[in-house]
């Protein structure tokens, strides 16, 4: 039994005794009601004198009980913190060897990252130096025109009819991505601030030729990897409304429904846009269709090694902007269905992610 319970019991006993004495006093008053005041007065005085120590003891017990209760409450309030501190100390002792291992791993990763970053910077610089003297490879053909039945107002209706169940999900992601491009262009668009985008510019310049189609040039219509290419040989496909005046021809459209005839372009470029489509198989099929027989598909994508296969294992969007992420485990076999690989460069960004530049030619 706790001290608080002992104290409460004592207090209750005293109060009960006090109550009984008061009852007896009342009975006594009734019994002697007819006696002269001379007799009653001294008797009552003696009774009240006997009650005084009991009343004082009751008051003292109440004070002690309140003090004890306050102390107990303070102890109870501080108990979780005490337990937490003891638990944390135990956890720290138990985790100390693991923390040392983790810190060593972090140091190793930091060193590896610095090594990879230096290696990447060197490779990127070599690409840019190689591209300095490259001149545009022009075509004698006129610039491809959009299909006769092309209607920019029907772009999203086509996609909605193509994938009616998935379209509402894709539309929500598309809207979120649109806001991110406007709010943070340097982070989400291929600008000069991106080391990878500048390196891809050199890669494109080294390999592209003839009439060029860029799929997903962005709302600013001025990605760094297109700068320096001849405007009269350059077309772009972009579903977003433009917020700047483009210096080359931009057509409103989607990768799944490219509004150009078969064999229209000598080069198709896709820079980190393929993971925004609703159907990656359809997008690749359309890309191969509009390329000439010896045309080139120049792509930059992220190989995220943990990303699931959206074709066989789709379980909803992976984040606020993407239905899926590309993973070479399933993406390379899919590319191989439509293209031969001419060139491929891999730049490790982390243990789980690579930046990949590749040049592919259509199989059919």
pLDDT digits (tens, 9 = 90+) for 141-172: 999 999 999 999 999 999 999 999 999 999 99
Give the residues across from 245 on adjacent strands. Answer: none
Calculate the alpha carbon distances from 60 to 1, 66, 71, 289, 306 in Å.
22, 10, 17, 98, 72
Predicted local distance difference test score (pLDDT) of residue 19: 62
Could you identify the residue written with the tokens 């291929």?
190
d(C-alpha 252, C-alpha 241), whole Å: 8
The whole-angstrom separation of Cα 112 and Cα 124 is 18
Quote the CATH superfamily of domain 123-362. Answer: Vaccinia Virus protein VP39 (3.40.50.150)
Handedness of CA 191, 197, 202, 207 (dihedral sign): negative
Whose tokens are 């002792």? That residue is: 93
Q: Reduced to 3 states, what is the DSSP secondary structure of residue 146?
A: strand
Nearest to 364 by CA among 283, 263, 281, 277: 263
pLDDT of 341: 98
pLDDT at 190: 81
| Per-residue confidence (pLDDT) for residue 192, from 0 to 100 | 82
Residue 339 CB contacts under 8 Å (≥ 6 apart), including other chains: 284, 288, 297, 360, 361, 362, 363
Alpha-carbon distance values, 173 to 271, 283, 305 (Å): 18, 18, 22
Rounded distance between C-alpha atoms, residue 356 and residue 346, angstroms = 5
Beta bridge partners of 304: 353
DSSP state of 224: G
pLDDT at residue 200, rounded to an integer: 96
Among 301, 347, 351, 348, residue whose Cα is nearest residue 328? 301
Q: Which residues contact 182 (CB under 8 A, 6 or more apart)?
A: 219, 243
pLDDT value of residue 314: 84
What parts of the chain have a pLDDT lower than 70?
1-62, 64-65, 68-69, 71-72, 75-76, 79, 82-92, 94-120, 187-188
Domain spans, the chain: 1-113, 123-362
Torsion angles phi and psi, residue 303, rounded to 5: -90, 100
């Amino acid at each position: 039994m706790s001290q608080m319970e002992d104290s409460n019991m004592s207090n209750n006993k005293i109060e009960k005794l006090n109550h009984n004495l008061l009852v007896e006093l009342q009975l006594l008053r009734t019994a002697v009601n007819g006696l002269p005041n001379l007799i009653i007065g001294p008797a009552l005085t003696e009774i009240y004198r006997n009650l005084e120590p009991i009343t004082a003891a009751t008051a003292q017990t109440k004070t002690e009980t309140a003090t004890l209760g306050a102390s107990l409450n303070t102890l109870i309030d501080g108990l979780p913190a005490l337990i937490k501190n003891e638990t944390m100390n135990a956890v720290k002792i138990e985790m100390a060897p693991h923390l040392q291992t983790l810190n060593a791993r972090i140091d190793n990763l930091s060193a590896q990252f610095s090594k990879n970053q230096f290696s990447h910077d060197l490779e990127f610089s070599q690409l840019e130096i190689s591209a300095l003297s490259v001149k545009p490879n022009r075509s004698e053909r006129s610039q491809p025109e959009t299909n006769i039945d092309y209607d920019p107002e029907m772009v999203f209706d086509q996609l909605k009819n193509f994938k009616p169940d998935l379209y509402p999900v894709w539309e929500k992601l598309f809207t979120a991505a649109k806001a991110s491009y406007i709010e943070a262009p340097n982070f989400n668009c291929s600008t000069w601030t991106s080391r990878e985008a500048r390196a891809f510019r050199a890669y494109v310049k080294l390999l592209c030729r003839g009439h060029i189609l860029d799929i997903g040039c962005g709302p600013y219509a001025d990605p760094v990897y297109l700068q320096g290419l001849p405007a009269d040989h350059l077309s772009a496909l972009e579903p977003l409304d433009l917020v700047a005046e483009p210096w080359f021809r931009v057509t409103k459209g989607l990768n799944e429904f490219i509004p150009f005839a078969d064999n229209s372009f000598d080069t198709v470029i896709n820079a980190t846009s393929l993971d925004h489509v609703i159907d990656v198989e359809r997008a690749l099929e359309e890309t191969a269709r509009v390329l000439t027989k010896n045309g080139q598909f120049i792509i930059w994508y992220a190989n995220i090694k943990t990303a699931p296969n959206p074709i066989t294992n789709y379980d909803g969007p992976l984040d606020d902007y993407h239905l899926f992420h590309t993973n070479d485990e399933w993406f390379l076999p899919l590319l191989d269905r439509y293209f031969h690989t001419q060139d491929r460069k891999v730049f490790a960004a982390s243990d789980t992610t690579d930046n990949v530049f590749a040049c592919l030619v259509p199989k059919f």
